Amino acid sequence: MGIREFPGGAPRSKSIAVGMRRSPDVSPRRLSDISPQLRQLKYLVVDEAIKEDLKWSRSVEDLTSGPVGLTSIEERILRITGYYGYQPWAASCKREERPRDSPGPAEAQAPAGVEAGGRASRRCWTCSPAQLKKIFWGVAVVLCVCSSWAGSTQLAKLTFRKFDAPFTLTWFATNWNFLFFPLYYVGHVCKSTEKQSVKQRYRECCRFFGDNGLTLKVFFTKAAPFGVLWTLTNYLYLHAIKKINTTDVSVLFCCNKAFVFLLSWIVLRDRFMGVRIVAAILAIAGIVMMTYADGFHSHSVIGIALVVASASMSALYKVLFKLLLGSAKFGEAALFLSILGVFNILFITCIPIILYFTKVEYWSSFDDIPWGNLCGFSVLLLTFNIVLNFGIAVTYPTLMSLGIVLSVPVNAVVDHYTSQIVFNGVRVIAIIIIGLGFLLLLLPEEWDVWLIKLLTRLKVRKKEEPAEGGADLSSGPQSKNRRARPSFAR
């Protein structure tokens, strides 16, 4: 079953095994007759069917770990072969009944180890310094994402009071994307032990686009479409800020997470998850309720349609990036975003000029432009994108996503004191529904398995507590002597 036959010793061990199966009363001392073959047990092969059942005990590899393993060879043969009706998965067969000199490092660090008295030790839930550092950075990243996103939204609203040109503001802020790769290279020089020149780093990151690097064809087929989607996403978002308040804009933009799931499920054939379908339904219901909150006025309906379109463009950007380019490293992502800035400068610059001369977005003189607001908005948006793209290096992605949804109450507080927004019951319920859907979409794919394990662990702990109390009452000198007795006499 579980033992490979050895040359020269197989017939004898097989006959012993047959005899032992036929007569359960035979003493296990007869196993010493096959002592020449005990040294060959390092070639022992365990069937796949019982590997999982043996995980709770020490592995078969311990048989080759010197004299300690060979002194207990009888019990291990019985465990693996199942002689005398011994079943490794049976709870009655406990290894703790045999005394040991000193546990090894693996046993000393086992989460469910056994104390000298025979009582199961409790698991200590502790966080390592690395985990604490990651959580600390996560809190800092959440605050940075929340403040930069809410700050850029509020500053854009303030800018439109003096400078009513959303597309020009989008173009101006997108030009700052050119700084992504230079900032990344500065960080690379400061942190990396193997420093490379700018040209070497650029060539290495260009492999992300293929073996030929960044060619003209690749620029127009793999970079230009994303430049258009980037510009549309930001323009629609800023144009919506002109129509409705920033609270509604920020909460409706959170629906892009639901749109990403729906597009990934359809286009990328991602795993179907019922909880995410529920989240998508909540997002759609929140959009309808948000529209109803203002009484379906044309002004608010247009603003809601603009921000929903912006969220859709953002979702399409993310899904197409994963479909066409896959996943990118930090340097590759920085180079890609810098390329979007170059595309914006070369091919989008003509559009603000056309809008200016057609007086769609017109300003009387350049002195009237609030350059401080424009530069502040661009810096905040650049900070938001840097933290969102590179924050995964220091913390968990889920914490970064929380910063976006936390910007909603920040915008709500600011709107309450700076505008005439009315938080009626329908608007509050819509905000809660969309926020709940966003949080459901942050659940990992194996959340149900983790939940079942947690509930099972809690049930086992409740059952172990009264059992431990009974064991303490029944423990005495006789039980201690019985535990100290070896399993088999030599």
Per-residue pLDDT 10s for the chain (490 aa) are 444 444 444 444 444 444 444 444 444 444 455 555 555 554 555 555 555 554 444 444 444 444 444 445 555 555 555 444 444 444 334 443 333 333 333 333 333 333 333 444 444 456 677 778 878 888 888 999 999 999 999 999 999 988 999 999 999 999 999 999 999 999 888 888 888 888 999 999 998 888 888 899 999 999 999 999 999 999 999 999 998 999 999 999 999 989 998 898 888 888 778 888 888 898 899 888 888 877 767 778 899 999 999 999 999 999 999 998 888 888 999 999 999 999 999 999 999 999 999 989 988 888 888 999 999 999 999 999 999 888 887 777 777 888 888 999 999 999 988 887 888 888 889 899 998 988 888 887 777 677 788 788 887 877 776 655 555 545 554 444 444 444 444 4
Task: Output DSSP code: residue 203.
Answer: H
For residue 427, the one-letter residue type is: R
How far apart are the C-alpha atoms of 55 and 112, rounded to whole Å?
A: 13
- The two structure tokens encoding residue 454: 């947690």
Closest CA to 280 of 397, 438, 428, 398: 438
8 A C-beta contact, residue 58 and residue 95: yes
Closest CA to 117 of 464, 489, 477: 477
How far apart are the C-alpha atoms of 225 and 460, rounded to whole Å?
A: 55
Reported for 425-433, long-range contacts at CB under 8 A and 24+ positions apart, including other chains, are 426/289, 426/292, 426/293, 427/248, 427/289, 427/290, 427/293, 429/289, 430/251, 430/286, 430/287, 430/289, 430/290, 430/293, 431/247, 431/251, 431/286, 431/290, 433/282, 433/283, 433/285, 433/286, 433/289
Spacing of C-alpha 206 from chain mean position: 27
Residue 457 pLDDT: 81
Residue 122 pLDDT: 44
- The two structure tokens encoding residue 429: 């319920």
CA distances from 272 to 278, 314, 326, 448 (A): 12, 21, 20, 13
How far apart are the C-alpha atoms of 106 and 343, rounded to whole Å?
A: 57
For residue 370, the one-letter residue type is: P
How far apart are the C-alpha atoms of 1 and 133, rounded to whole Å?
A: 50
Give the 3-state secondary structure of residue 174: helix
Give the 3-state secondary structure of residue 224: helix
Spacing of C-alpha 345 from chain mean position: 35
Q: What is the value of pTM for the model shown?
A: 0.68
How far apart are the C-alpha atoms of 1 and 82, rounded to whole Å?
A: 9
Question: In the chain, what's the furthest Cα-to-Cα distance?
Answer: 106
Beta carbons within 10 angstroms of residue 434's beta carbon: 28
Helices (H) and strands (E) in the chain, counts: 23, 0
Q: What is the 3-state secondary structure (H, E, C) of 423-465?
A: CCHHHHHHHHHHHHHHHHHCCCCCHHHHHHHHHHHHHHHHHHH
C-alpha Rg value of the chain to the nearest Å: 33
Give the 3-state secondary structure of residue 120: strand
How far apart are the C-alpha atoms of 459 and 464, rounded to whole Å?
A: 9
Residue 39 pLDDT: 54
Q: What residues have CB less than 8 Å from 105, skipping those under 6 apart?
A: none
Beta carbons within 10 angstroms of residue 225's beta carbon: 16
Closest CA to 154 of 460, 320, 384, 388: 384
Closest CA to 282 of 429, 447, 442: 429
8 A C-beta contact, residue 349 and residue 231: no
Beta carbons within 10 angstroms of residue 237's beta carbon: 25
How far apart are the C-alpha atoms of 420 and 442, rounded to whole Å?
A: 33
